Amino acid sequence: MASTAVHAPVEWHRLPYNYEGCKNIVMPRPLIATIDIAAMQHNLAIAKQHAPAAKVWAIVKANGYGHGLAHAVRGFAAADGLGLIELDGAVRLRELGWQKPILLLEGFFHAEDVALLAQHRVQTAIHCNEQMTMLEQAKLDAPLDVHLKMNSGMNRLGFVPSAFRAAYARLRAMGNVRNISLITHFANAECDDHPQISLTEQVRRFQDGSAGLAGERSLSNSAADLLHPEIATDWVRPGIMLYGGTPGGGTAAEFGLLPAMTLASEIIGVQDIVAADAVGYGSRFVAMHPMKIGVVACGYADGYPRHAPGGTPILVDGVMTRIVGQVSMDMITVDLSPIPNARIGSKVTLWGDGLPIDAVAHAAGTLGYELMCAVAPRVRIVEARTAT
């Protein structure tokens, strides 16, 4: 199932901020993040194919991994539920018309949040005794569905296996609790032989600690869904794969995933330099021969990683080239040697269609997750127009 989306025409930007009442000043900066709904639908279908008997929590935390909750509601309309961290985001999902289940993956943080969960029909993780106390003391019109979390080796949130049954019994005795599901999270699903804690060992701990307890199970994240479909239970919880990034264990293309976000800009300046000329702050790049340098309208204030080194891949007019010099706040400098006809206005792809986000992230020593989530508010987001 291939995406047939084409990028919408570049539009003039409007300020996302209200600078002294100048909200509607037109700005021609050409940096745009294009969201491909068809790619999101395609990636969700792949998650379902790997776990055909399971229901799917599509994870939309961090504003849908930077893609926007409104786009996530449409892109993941076929999911059985949506999972996220932010209570205000859960309320926003209801405002956007999402009627199916919503799950708060970290649960609630304050006693006053509990009534909001009931009001908006939001399910919640329970990972500590403090949350259980707040839930016990809450005055609710209707009981909640809760997801009791086990710490099976990740050592972040959850009850250790030896304390899990007692936590379950305490929840079962509460009038504010309706259904109890059982969940855990994997530390190394992309590397089952990890010497510290393996996927197999975490599954064993979860099964032993929850044996005999009633309730639906949810274990698999993106890596487990793609690489270990045999461990899928009642629900799976794909995240990064839904947006066309890889959790490890292979490339997005090898898994058949499509990029849901393309960050694109244009060349806004060209410089011809000679041997020994330097480029950018700190003069970190020094030319060894005559070169043509292009200036791209994008920088770390837009969410591009400042630590991306020289050599990080970038596309200009569809041709692969490289960053040279230091990424600055608003601009990136690139080597135009492979594109002799490049000029001001030439199209630039920073990641997405034609350039996997994971390739850029790898060059920058980070993950595709971070790049998606870091796209700044001043970057205009548009939706890809589907070809007919």
Residue (of 215, 260, 257, 239) closest to 353 by Cα position: 260
Among residues 23, 149, 281, 304, the one annotated as catalytic is: 281
Please state, in angstroms and rounded to a whole number, the distance separating the CA atoms of residues 60 and 150: 22
Among residues 48, 61, 149, 300, the one annotated as catalytic is: 61
Q: Are 218 and 51 in contact (CB under 8 A)?
A: no
Beta bridge partners of 182: 148, 217
Please state, in angstroms and rounded to a whole number, the distance separating the CA atoms of residues 292 and 279: 11
**Both structure tokens of 96:** 């956007």
| Dihedral pair phi/psi, residue 209, rounded to 5° | -70, -20
The count of other CB atoms within 10 Å of the CB of residue 46 is 18
CA-based angle 379:383:386, to the nearest 5? 150
Q: Where are the alpha helices (DSSP H) in 76-221?
A: 87-95, 113-119, 129-137, 161-172, 199-210
Task: Tell me whether strands 5-6 and 385-386 are parallel, antiparallel or unpaired.
Answer: antiparallel
Q: Are 229 and 51 in contact (CB under 8 A)?
A: yes
Q: Which burial class, exposed, middle or buried, applies to 282 when counting CB atoms under 10 A from its CB (0-12, 13-18, 19+)?
A: exposed
Active site residue 281: yes
DSSP 73-112: HHHTTTSSEEEES-HHHHHHHHHTT--S-EEETT--SSTT
Please state, in angstroms and rounded to a whole number, the distance separating the CA atoms of residues 238 and 220: 7
Please give the DSSP secondary-structure letter assigned to residue 205.
H
Q: Which burial class, exposed, middle or buried, applies to 288 when counting CB atoms under 10 A from its CB (0-12, 13-18, 19+)?
A: exposed
Instruction: Name residues whose C-beta falls within 8 Å of residue 346's C-beta, 6 or more positions apart in sequence.
Output: 266, 267, 294, 316, 317, 339
Instruction: Name residues whose C-beta falls within 8 Å of residue 107's C-beta, 6 or more positions apart in sequence.
Output: 124, 125, 126, 127, 131
Catalytic residue numbers read 61, 281
